[in-house]
Structures are given as structure tokens and as C-alpha cells.
Amino acid sequence: MQSKPLRIGTRGSALALAQAHETRSRLMAAHGLAEQDFDIVVIKTSGDQIQDRPLSEAGGKGLFTKEIEEALLDGRIDIAVHSSKDMPTHLPGGLALTAFLPREDVRDAFISPKAKRLEDLPQGAVVGSSSLRRQAMIKRLRPDIQVVMYRGNVQTRLKKLEEGQVDATLLAYAGLRRLGLADVVTSLLETDTFLPAVGQGAICIESRAADQPVLDMLAAIHHRETELRLTCERAFLAELDGSCRTPIGGLALIDGERLSFRGLILKPDGSELHELTREGSVDDAEAIGREAGRSLKALGGPGFFAV
């Protein structure tokens, strides 16, 4: 048994806590530990406190990780559990993504009392989404639809939908499944027409890069295939300097020793889209992602992401 509890840092939303509990359960099973061998430490982040405007206007993805990473660096927690799609591509010195859990379903879920599919919504319908990627892709598929900012945790967004504030919303299917809310889904958006966000559906664990006892613990629950897929996707995002300010989609898949990748960039209004596919060995996951990012950036040309 450990001499002291392993402290797991997390945001306080129901989904974040579900992810922290999953991590704890996997570590318990892997090492024969009990719940009392862990402390779950809830940390309120800047992103949780900003509800009145899009995160793209407030500072981007790091708003969901800054305070948690500060707690890692000063030793208040031992590991941090994150949604991979919330993670900036550049981490503070001394920290690293040191484990990934097996990836969930990556698709976006369409939820609406008004229509079975996004394509079936009535003319001029109102869809709520805080994701620039989802907003841009909705506008590209249905230019007539009004897309409005839609902040809050999963339960808050579902309540707003139930109250009729919007006609539909889109959420990550993985998060709904982890919350036991898969039954609220009206339909799923397939990745060939609605590419997910980089890292969607994957839980990552961040720790101090030199904390060997923690690294040894995490090795037992690490999922190599998810790491390879995310290595490719995050390298792609890094080349594009991607954040929640830019509509970007990317998905890597693995079949045996082969990795295939598809990425796209959009104008925020959906008026222009560029996409590409790449394939290669899983050993070249990072190189494939970086090359795809550079090529797509060149396709868009200078100023593509200019607001």
C-alpha cells in the first residue's frame, strides 16, 4: 500500500469528476488499492468561472488547465485528469502528458426535440454551441440555421434545451456516455461528415515529468493506441497553432501498424473549408500530424484564420 494517498486534481463538473473516478478505478484495479488510497482534489479553473462570453475571447484552451497545472507544479496534487481536447499543445516546463485511457466514441451527438437529425431541423432553427468547430460545421451544412453561444456544463446545456432556449444542441457523445446520459441522444453525427475535435473522447493524465513513482503507477493503465492517435492529432494542432479560437477538426485511426489521419480547417462562418488525409506507420505518428498541419496551413494560405 502507498504511504500516503495519491492526489488526483480535477475540475469540479460532473463530467470531470466522472473522468477522475474512472482514473481512480483503473488505478485501484491495476495496483490492488482502495478508495482511501486516493484523494480527489477539485480545482476551480478560470474556464469554469467565465460563463458570459466565448472562451475564444477570454484566452483559449489554457483556461481549463492553468490552475490545475499550478497545483501540479507546486506539489498540491500528484496527477491531473483532463479531457484531451481541452489541453493546449504546449505544456508548462516540468509537466507532461504521461498516460492516456482507452479512447471512447469520438462522434458528436445531436440532441433535439424538434428533429431527428441536424439536416432535418426547420428553416431558421436555433442551435446552441460554444464550440467554434461545431458552429462552423453547422453553418457549412445549414447556412440558414442560427447558431448561438451556449456555455455551461452538460447538465446546464440539456436544461436550457429542455426549457426551449434553443431548438437543438451538439455535445460530445463520449461525455454523455461517461455521465450515463447516452439515452438523451437524438442521433449521432458520423465522422465522415462531421469531423470531431482533436482529442475528443480521450482522457489524458498529466503529471510531473520527473516523478518516477507516479510514472510507474500510471504505466499500468496507459493505453498505447490512444497515445499514438493523440500524438498525431496534437502534432497537427500544434503546427496550426490551434486553439479554441480556430475551427479545426482532426482524427487519427489505427489499423494494425498503420495510422490514417484526416484533418480540416474552416472559416468561422463555414464559408470556406480545406481538408486532407495522410497515412503512414504508427511509428511516424507525430511526423504525420506535423506534415498534415503544415500542408493544411499552406492550403488555407496567409490570413485564413484572421477574424
The pLDDT tens digits of the residues spanning 286-305 come to 999 999 999 999 998 877 76
pLDDT of residue 60: 55
Task: Please state the rounded mean pLDDT for residues 235-258.
Answer: 88
Rounded mean pLDDT, 264-290: 96
CB 71 within 8 A of CB 77: yes
Report yes or no: 50 and 67 within 8 Å, Cβ to Cβ: no
E strand or H helix that includes residue 280: strand 273-281
Q: What is the mean pLDDT of the chain?
A: 92
**Other beta carbons within 10 Å of 25:** 13
Q: Which residues are catalytic?
A: 86
Give the single-character DSSP code of 300. H
Of residues 71 and 60, more confidently modeled:
71
User: d(Cα 72, Cα 66) in Å, to the nearest integer?
Assistant: 10
Predicted pLDDT of residue 58: 46
Interval 77-127: pLDDT, tens: 999 999 999 899 999 999 999 999 999 999 999 999 999 999 999 999 999
Helix (H/G/I), strand (E/B), else coil: 141: helix
State the cell numbers at 59.
Answer: 484566452
Work out the average pLDDT over 132-144.
95
- Other beta carbons within 10 angstroms of residue 58's beta carbon come to 14
- Has residue 243 got a pLDDT over 60? no
The region that residue 96 occupies, defined by phi over 0 for left and psi between -120 and 50 for alpha, beta otherwise, is beta
User: What is the pLDDT at residue 40?
Assistant: 98
